[in-house]
Structure 1
Amino acid sequence: MLMVASMGSMLAQFNIENMKILIELGYKVDVAANFTDVDPMSHERRKKLFDFFKEENIKYFQIDFSRGIGSVSGNLKAYSQLNKVIMNNKYDFIHTHSPLASVITRISAKKNNVPVLYTAHGFQFFRGGSFKDWVIFYPIEYFFSKYTDGIITINNEDFKRAKKMNSKKVYYIPGVGVNTRKYGMTSENGKFNKIRIEFSLGMDTTILLSVGELSKRKNHEVIIRAMATMKELDIVYFICGVGQEETKLRELVQTLNLNEKVKLLGYRTDIDEVMSYSDIFVFPSKREGLGLAAIEAMAAGLPIITSNVNGINDYSIDGVTGYSYSPNDYKGFAKGIKMLINNKEIFGKMKINNKNAAVKYDIANVNKNMKEIYEQYTKEK
């Protein structure tokens, strides 16, 4: 079979387990994506991905997909490259990811009469989303659904909407899988004091944490603005991630005089440890298919304060798992943070609620779902 994604990072972050399942089912797996520096994947993750390919005898093809919607000439080039791959190999089926790659893939797959499974990691259009996204992206997804043998969705809103499209089958799985034991078993011994010493924090300082790419979509800016309204409180905000918005965010921190309150920690490989010494997880994204980092935080027992959009609403329940607000409501986010700091009883209940709620999204459960889906193609083969 062939697995396709716009960027290699999509394969590395979300599809290693899927490839393992397919190999276990007896498939020879090929992959196609853009593996060049257009993809901001870290050197460490890139090396790990190619080592995995080598170990599992997975053949990979370079396709010059764009990160966004791309250009006409660029997309035609990507189509030509991918079509050549599909024509020259007798694939039993294709599993595609990423909106642009999946459009190009389905055009080629139809031409070559190959079944296609498409995972929508969060439709671009959603309840409360922009009119522009609905006008542009909904018609495209609706049209190409008829060239899709199965659409896999990872949140309830997308599942209901996909069922009204023209794919032969529509599936729901609870995300891409979280190792809840890894996050649930982290210990504060040593690490807790270590981070406070490193940043000269008092034992009573509340540590807020965000994990995610520094992008407009992840919306870290709104929490920084919320921090500016709480300068009198003993709080520090850690942001783990890299991205194009880093300079802008640093400038905002400087402008608001928050250098001692907001710390950009860059790319981290020890997120489970970082979560073990944090108190509250904040997740203000403007759009999320689901939001892996927030579920990891729940598994670690952190109350979550989130935006109230898209797939986040599947697990972020206001007053139960934490609090949720409109993505641009920095005053609301500040209010939620204060409520958690000031009410230890509610804080404690939310920690327990979140550990229990995260079990649904455990990797073992997701893998079971994916194996059942893949087995349908095995039987049909």
Structure 2
Amino acid sequence: MKKILFVASTLSHIENFHMPYIKYFKEHGYNVHVIGKANNKSELKCIDKIIPVPFQKNMFSIKNFSNAIKISKIIKSENYDIISLHTTLAAFFTRLGIMLSFNKPNLVINTVHGYLFDNNSSFIKKIIMVMAEKITKCVTDTIIVMNRDDYKIAQKHKLYRNNIYSIDGMGINLSSYSPISYEDKIALRKKHHFSINDFFLIYVAEFSKRKNQKFIINTVDKLVKDGYTNIKLLLLGDGILLDELKTYTKELGINNNVFFIGYTKDTCTYYQMADICVSSSRIEGLPFNIMEAMCVGLPIVASNVKGHKDLVIPNENGFLFEYDNDSEFYTYIKTIYDSKEIQYKMSNKSLDLVENYSINNILPKTINIILNEYKSHI
């Protein structure tokens, strides 16, 4: 029986993005193993072996180098046919483990969910991240990327041995996120004790420096002070900066305009209540939160960074503002707020565009890439 290993930084990443792929390989006779930090909220099914590895969010963590040694022993003993890598640090330290094992599988395929650098990153950061990819290139047969900028980066630095492919994300289940009527939106807001007259911005993301929620909180503060008191911000997720930003919001005096929902699997309900999806992230791969919002038919206002640029067509399904430019962000929110016509046009365009990212389209293409690459390596 052929054996495949999926690796990601956390088991929740596996749970959220890779279960359709795992199910496919399981149904086609593969023995399926996964590696990741144990933080998922529910049982992972269709998996033969779950191997918890506590990856740290630090390239220089001693624990990560210890993880690489642990992984090398696993690879020696398991003799995988295919290793499918996801998320930057987990992919790097797993490839170190492959190198240390002297037992490379037939196919090692690295799916890049967003390189952690771009042209605006510091010189030192770029050098470190590119060198990490180059060091492990010797065991990286194939790369799959999700946005135009990462494709250029991988090509420029030749970060793979054989082939590079581009896909439109891991695929989103359109049936799990759907638009609702105005009447249903009103009913949903009443159910959750929100006013029908409120105008909601929504941001679903881990609370981190990279996701930059403080920027949006500051803009909401300015909008409220300028008289847009019915603008409300829904922040979904958890993370290391959550408590700090809760305190900051209270200090600004806008805790009646900013709602920290916390971690929830029911993000769809909150998208359906919202009016605009926002993102102030510094860098992305191909963000699921934007695609989920597009499924519901929301206009998007997002920072002009890689990943966002692949999903948002300015003036069609939303706007792109220069990173950390509060006046641009403020203006775009007001533009949509003031015009039902723009809201309607952008909503319909989001619904049209998101069809390209359906799991029904992406899954067979990505599976074919993996299987064809595997055949070429045996």
Give the TM-score taking structure 2 as reference length. Answer: 0.91
Given the alignment of the two structures, is residue 287 of structure 1 paired with residue 283 of structure 2, yes or no?
yes
Which of 306, 311, 314 is residue 315 of structure 1 equivalent to?
311
Is the alpha carbon distance of 1:342 and 1:90 closer, same or farther for their aligned partners in structure 2, counting shifts above 3 Å?
A: same
Q: Is contact 1:65-1:75 (8 Å) kept?
A: yes
Matched with 1:195 is: 189
Which of 1, 10, 15 is residue 12 of structure 1 equivalent to?
15
CA RMSD of aligned residues (A): 1.9
Given the alignment of the two structures, is residue 298 of structure 1 paired with residue 290 of structure 2, yes or no?
no
Using the TM superposition, give the Cα deviation of residue 89 of structure 1 relative to its aligned residue in structure 2, in angstroms: 1.5
Using the TM superposition, give the Cα deviation of residue 159 of structure 1 relative to its aligned residue in structure 2, in angstroms: 1.3
Is the alpha carbon distance of 1:148 and 1:26 closer, same or farther for their aligned partners in structure 2, counting shifts above 3 Å?
A: same
Paired letter, 1:174: D
Matched with 1:38 is: none
Unpaired segments ≥5 residues, structure 2 = none
Given the alignment of the two structures, is residue 236 of structure 1 paired with residue 232 of structure 2, yes or no?
yes
Given the alignment of the two structures, is residue 358 of structure 1 paired with residue 350 of structure 2, yes or no?
no
Given the alignment of the two structures, is residue 48 of structure 1 paired with residue 53 of structure 2, yes or no?
no
Matched with 1:336 is: 332
The CA deviation string for residues 207-248 of structure 1, in whole angstroms up to 9 with x for no partner, is: 111111111111111111111111111211111111111122
Q: Is contact 1:284-1:307 (8 Å) kept?
A: yes
Which of 159, 178, 184 is residue 178 of structure 2 equivalent to?
184
Q: Is contact 1:186-1:272 (8 Å) kept?
A: no
Matched with 1:147 is: 139
Paired letter, 1:46: K
Given the alignment of the two structures, is residue 31 of structure 1 paired with residue 34 of structure 2, yes or no?
yes
Q: Is contact 1:224-1:262 (8 Å) kept?
A: yes
Unpaired segments ≥5 residues, structure 1 = 36-40
Using the TM superposition, give the Cα deviation of residue 200 of structure 1 relative to its aligned residue in structure 2, in angstroms: 4.7
Matched with 2:55 is: 65
> Relative to structure 2, which stretch is displaced further, 3-12 or 279-288?
3-12
Q: What secondary structure does 1:48 align onto?
A: coil
Give the TM-score taking structure 1 as reference length. Answer: 0.90
Percent identity, please.
30
Q: Is contact 1:175-1:366 (8 Å) kept?
A: yes
Rounded to whole Å, the distance in 2 between the matches of 1:371 and 1:25 is 11
Is the alpha carbon distance of 1:188 and 1:70 closer, same or farther for their aligned partners in structure 2, counting shifts above 3 Å?
A: farther
Using the TM superposition, give the Cα deviation of residue 189 of structure 1 relative to its aligned residue in structure 2, in angstroms: 4.7
Matches within 5 A, 1:193-232: 193-196=187-190, 198-201=192-195, 203-231=196-224, 232=227
> Relative to structure 2, which stretch is displaced further, 91-100 or 370-379?
370-379
Rounded to whole Å, the distance in 2 between the matches of 1:116 and 1:200 is 49
Matched with 2:375 is: 379
Is the alpha carbon distance of 1:212 and 1:124 closer, same or farther for their aligned partners in structure 2, counting shifts above 3 Å?
A: same
Rounded to whole Å, the distance in 1 between the matches of 2:56 and 2:152 is 29
Paired letter, 1:108: G
Matched with 1:22 is: 25
Given the alignment of the two structures, is residue 89 of structure 1 paired with residue 78 of structure 2, yes or no?
yes
> Relative to structure 2, which stretch is displaced further, 359-368 or 59-68?
59-68
Paired letter, 2:286: L
Rounded to whole Å, the distance in 2 between the matches of 1:28 and 1:375 is 15
Rounded to whole Å, the distance in 2 between the matches of 1:76 and 1:206 is 48
Paired letter, 2:103: N
Using the TM superposition, give the Cα deviation of residue 378 of structure 1 relative to its aligned residue in structure 2, in angstroms: 4.8
Paired letter, 1:21: Y
Paired letter, 2:41: R
Matched with 1:159 is: 151
Q: Is contact 1:152-1:171 (8 Å) kept?
A: yes
> Relative to structure 2, which stretch is displaced further, 104-113 or 230-239?
104-113
Q: Is contact 2:147-2:168 (8 Å) kept?
A: yes
Is the alpha carbon distance of 1:271 and 1:85 closer, same or farther for their aligned partners in structure 2, counting shifts above 3 Å?
A: same
Is the alpha carbon distance of 1:104 and 1:246 closer, same or farther for their aligned partners in structure 2, counting shifts above 3 Å?
A: closer
Which of 118, 128, 131 is residue 110 of structure 2 equivalent to?
118
Rounded to whole Å, the distance in 1 between the matches of 2:182 and 2:317 is 21
Rounded to whole Å, the distance in 2 between the matches of 1:238 and 1:76 is 38
